Chain A
Amino acid sequence: QSALTQPPSASGSPGQSVTISCTGTSSDVGAYNYVSWYQQHPGKVPKLMISEVSKRPSGVPDRFSGSKSGNTASLTVSGLQADDEADYYCSSYAGSNVFVFGTGTKVTVL
């Protein structure tokens, strides 16, 4: 049950795109299409942005998109806005009622 690997930081200017990777193994990310992404602003509760690799819950802007290839999932934020500056975490089902989170990525809007 090792944490999924994310880059510690990512950045972009307003209007640009940023992509965050989430690397797991063939036992978690590679095995199941239950990859989720969460946004967390400082001092706030995490918010679900993407579930099942690429599905956006109601209310999440279509600027947020998810994908997966092999053991690596990705979150892309297009048209960066100031409010997108936050920590982002991926998560994956790992079988047998076990989940795992990623190490987290701090996104900075320059």
Chain B
Amino acid sequence: AQTVTQSQPEMSVQEAETVTLSCTYDTSESDYYLFWYKQPPSRQMILVIRQEAYKQQNATENRFSVNFQKAAKSFSLKISDSQLGDAAMYFCAYRSKDSGGSNYKLTFGKGTLLTVNP
């Protein structure tokens, strides 16, 4: 079974600076999807960015980018020019592409709580 590990329970960053959140995963599959979700105090789960494993180019969405290292099974999230509204819990998630298995299911890490200091 796949597992997702977020080794930083909490992180903090100064407004306007850059922060990187770590995520590693364990899988025997060669193709899959990876996601970062943001959960602000409102509780709403918001998709931040996504990456398909066979795509070597790192995904970017405005101030959010990932560093996808497939061999190392690492999928870190970089937030540039941090804003107060970025303060939230961030979850890394994995989805299999295996058509015969659990490709419906998201496996989540335990989350990293990001604080943005003014």
Q: Do A and B come from one complex?
A: no
Q: Please list the residues of chain B having a beta carbon within 8 angstroms of any beta carbon in chain A.
A: none
